[in-house]
């Protein structure tokens, strides 16, 4: 039972069409000169104007100016870790990307992202969420940042807002995972169409 606040970001668990989620990810590049924020497993990420992966710094409160990818663009998905070469020439597989890390010359920083817009994610709400939250929209109560995660576990520490809305927002709540009576219930959510880049006609 989710009786305490212990958020862990977005965790892929199944597909909206009932098929099992088999762990598929796609590979994207992080700027080899260094990205200015940590990227934690379970965080929502975007493709920046430079073509590299970056953290979404919007709450997703709407699908226009406060869309996850900026002005109507949408997010590319959820970060699931990365690999890079360290200063000693060793290949590192990590649950998070450390802010500002620049790749040695001739190497790349590769990120793995769940970018399938049909995946359902398990996530904790930041407060009570009765049965009535099913079918409503939610968002991040505060923006993701370089500190909304743990450098020990590599996981995000973001929850979604228990104060739901019927107007357009980033995520649709589709089911409870833990009992609806829990103080901080776990729910399943899906990206709303305009909040995901693959279902959005707007380009960068």
At residue 30, the pLDDT reads: 98
Whether residue 44 has pLDDT greater than 60: yes
10 Å CB burial of residue 94 (0-12, 13-18, 19+) is middle
- Give all strands of the β-sheet with 11-15 in edge-to-edge order: 11-15, 119-124, 186-191, 171-176, 137-138
Q: What is the pLDDT of residues 1-18, one digit of tens each?
A: 578 999 999 999 999 998
CA 84 – CA 91 distance, rounded (Å): 6
pTM: 0.96
Of the listed ranges 33-37, 67-71, 75-79, 81-85, the least confidently predicted one is 67-71
What number is the average pLDDT over the span 53-82? Answer: 94
Distance CA 196, CA 190 (A): 10
pLDDT digits (tens, 9 = 90+) for 126-136: 999 999 999 99
DSSP output for the chain: ---S------EEEEETTSPBP----EEEEEPTT--SS-EEBT-EEEE-TTSSEEE--S--SSSSTTBTTBSS--B-EEEEEEEEE-TTS-EEEESEEPTT--PPTT--EEEEEE--TTEEEEEEBSS---GGGTT-EE--SS---TTSB-TTT-BB---B-SS-BSS--SEEEEEESS-TTSSS-EEEEEE-GGGBGGG-----
Residue 204, pLDDT above cutoff 80: no
pLDDT in tens, 139-152: 999 999 999 999 99
């Amino acid at each position: 039972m989710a009786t305490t606040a212990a958020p862990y970001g977005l965790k892929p668990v199944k597909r909206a069409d009932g098929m099992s989620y088999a762990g598929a990810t796609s590979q994207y590049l992080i700027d080899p000169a260094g990205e200015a924020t940590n990227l934690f497993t379970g965080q929502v990420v975007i493709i920046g104007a430079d073509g590299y992966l970056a953290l979404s710094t919007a709450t997703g409160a709407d699908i226009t100016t406060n869309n996850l990818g900026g002005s109507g663009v949408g997010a590319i998905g959820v970060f699931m870790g990365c690999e890079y070469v360290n200063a000693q020439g060793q290949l590192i597989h990590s649950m998070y990307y450390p802010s500002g890390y620049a790749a040695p010359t001739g190497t790349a920083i590769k990120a793995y992202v769940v970018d399938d817009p049909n995946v359902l994610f398990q996530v904790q709400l930041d407060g009570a969420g009765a049965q009535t939250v099913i079918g409503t929209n939610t968002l991040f109560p505060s923006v993701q940042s370089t500190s909304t995660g743990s450098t020990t576990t590599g996981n995000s520490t973001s929850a979604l807002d228990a104060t739901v809305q019927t107007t357009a927002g980033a995520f649709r709540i589709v089911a409870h995972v833990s009992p609806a009576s829990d103080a901080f219930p776990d729910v399943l959510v899906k990206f709303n169409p305009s909040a995901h880049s693959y279902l959005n006609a707007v380009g960068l």
